[in-house]
Structure 1
Amino acid sequence: MSDNAHPRTVADLALEVRSKNAGPFWVTMELFMRDTAGYALVADPGFLDAPLIARLYGVPADAIRIFRIPALNVVKISFPRPVAQGSLRDRDIHAGQHHVPLAMLPLPESH
């Protein structure tokens, strides 16, 4: 992770990036940004959109829901779990590790 003066990833701009269950069939990830500037960058549909999340997580873009909450500097992203929670092929029952690719997402070069 880089210092705050030269952020390189989404995690560098965030207070917290986390993922969790949203019921047995959905995952929700939350980006709690440090300030309005960081929020403006990650909330920008030109940077963070359904096709990007689809590539990161291997889910259909049309199944992804993105909620931008400017009053809280928060972006929430939800998508269907690849397998039902607790099923035989479920490798992360709490969905607690799904946030890592999003947190490590490089920021645009212009930032």
Structure 2
Amino acid sequence: MPEHTTLGELAKTVRSKNAGTDRITFDIIFADQATYDHVRASQAVTRSTVGELFGVPDDRITDFVEFDPAFAIKFTLKRLAPSGGPGERDVFGCQQYPPLLSVPVPTPAGSPQPA
């Protein structure tokens, strides 16, 4: 049995999108409370791990929220260039989430693996 699974296997939705002209917001949404609680407890996705994963300093992370009612982890990054500005490569911010898909999440002992 693998020692971990990935965030992409556990999350129902992983997405990124514009949050105004100067920010991109990310949503990681889980289908149920148990999976959400497991990922939170694993510390696989924290403000610190987001900074490392995307190679950004903490001051570019404007928000990091664990939103219990939606079983979601949400965070927002400041863009280096405004949406649609010179040198900016993703006007809608919708192509920034893929690094999240391969984040390893430890598998609890005795847990069934995702199908």
TM (norm. structure 2) is 0.80
The aligned counterpart of 1:100 is 98
Count of aligned pairs between the two proteins: 106
The aligned counterpart of 1:79 is 77
CA-based RMSD: 2.1
User: 1:63, CA displacement in angstroms?
Assistant: 3.2
User: 1:10, CA displacement in angstroms?
Assistant: 0.5
Gaps of 5+ in 2: 110-115
Q: Which letter does structure 2 place at the counterpart of 1:102?
A: L
Contact 1:7 1:13 in 2 (8 A): no
Secondary structure, aligned partner of 2:35: helix
Contact 2:44 2:104 in 1 (8 A): no
Moved over 2 A (4+): 41-47, 108-111
Instruction: Tell me, in whole angstroms, the C-alpha distance in 2 between the residues paired with 1:7 and 1:94.
Output: 32
Gaps of 5+ in 1: 1-5
User: 1:109, CA displacement in angstroms?
Assistant: 5.4
Kindly tell me: are residues 34 and 105 of structure 1, through their superposed partners in 2, closer, same or farther at Cα, counting changes over 3 Å?
same
